[in-house]
């Protein structure tokens, strides 16, 4: 379990190559239990996504969803559907991503660990896809749904992701000060949780907003 925790810590920190090596070692470890191996497979997929090895990640997820990996328990199916949705997004297939995110919801159960934060994450991801499709009405629907489940007590990571989506909406609407405030709050939460890859991504949004604000002052 300690090796799995360390691999996930590396994954959160954006050290995808090191994380993948640890996940791969766990999968091959004869002493690792099936639940650990299943979690390691999930981590391997996430590492591949972080490394930009999209085709390999898709092949692995498709094999798992088809039931060809005995060590992956059916309870992990929603998590792999979630990653398949992310992969569809990365390929520019936003409608396909929505289909996978909605299928994930069908397999989520209230008896599963972190149920509410997973609901929030799903709704935020769907809201983000609709935002990128230019459908603000649908985006707002999923933002409202996510607010019911994302808070700093339930999951700081989900709450930070919610703030990022709100910030993007504010920025698009020209409300730059509000966008800056929520982006900074999200970045700080990511740093507290050791999610340095996400915090770096938000820092880019902060820089962009500050640049726009500076241009506005010059004009």
Range of the domain at 166: 152-219
pTM reported for the whole predicted model: 0.91
Q: At 181, which CATH number?
A: 1.20.58
d(C-alpha 96, C-alpha 136), whole Å: 18
- The three-state secondary structure class of 134 is coil
Residue 201 falls inside a structural domain: yes
Look at residue 153 in the predicted model and tell me its pLDDT. Answer: 65
Of the pLDDT bands very low, low, confident and very high (cuts 50, 70, 90), residue 90 is very high
- pLDDT at residue 125 greater than cutoff 90: yes
Number of domains in the chain: 1
Residue 219: pLDDT band with limits 50, 70, 90: low
Nearest in space to 101 (alpha carbons), one of 118, 126, 74 = 126
Q: What share of the chain is helix, strand, coil (3-state, %, to 5)?
A: 80, 0, 20
State how far the Cα of 189 lies from the Cα of 136, in Å rounded to an integer: 26
Whether 206 contacts 168, CB under 8 Å: no
Residue at 142 is within a domain: no
Average pLDDT over residues 198-207: 97
Among 149, 127, 158, 153, CA closest to 140: 127
| Residue 206: inside a domain | yes
Three-state DSSP at 48 gives helix
Site of tokens 């949004």: 205
Q: Are 42 and 75 in contact (CB under 8 A)?
A: no
Dist CA 63 CA 187 (whole Å): 35
Q: Is residue 219 part of a domain?
A: yes
pLDDT at 158 over 80: yes
Rounded distance between C-alpha atoms, residue 23 and residue 50, angstroms: 14
Kindly tell me if the per-residue pLDDT of 162 is higher than 80.
yes
The mean of the pLDDT values for the chain is 93
């Amino acid at each position: 379990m300690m090796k799995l925790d360390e691999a996930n810590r590396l994954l959160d920190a954006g050290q995808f190559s090191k994380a993948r090596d640890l996940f791969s070692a766990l999968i091959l470890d004869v002493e690792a239990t099936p639940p650990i191996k299943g979690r390691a497979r999930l981590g391997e997929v996430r590492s591949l996504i972080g490394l930009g090895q999209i085709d390999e990640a898709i092949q692995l997820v498709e094999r798992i969803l088809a039931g060809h990996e005995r060590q992956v328990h059916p309870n992990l199916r929603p998590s792999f559907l979630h990653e398949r949705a992310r992969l569809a997004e990365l390929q520019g297939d936003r409608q396909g991503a929505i289909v996978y995110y909605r299928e994930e919801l069908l397999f989520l159960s209230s008896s599963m660990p972190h149920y509410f934060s997973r609901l929030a994450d799903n709704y935020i991801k769907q809201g983000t896809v609709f935002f990128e499709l230019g459908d603000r009405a649908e985006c707002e629907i999923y933002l409202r749904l996510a607010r019911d489940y994302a808070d700093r007590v339930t999951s700081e990571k989900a709450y930070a992701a919610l703030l990022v989506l709100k910030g993007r909406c504010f920025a698009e609407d020209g409300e730059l000060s509000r966008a800056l405030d929520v982006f900074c709050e999200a970045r700080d939460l990511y740093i507290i949780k050791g999610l340095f890859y996400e915090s770096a991504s938000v820092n880019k949004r902060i820089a962009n907003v500050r640049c726009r604000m500076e241009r506005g002052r010059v004009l």
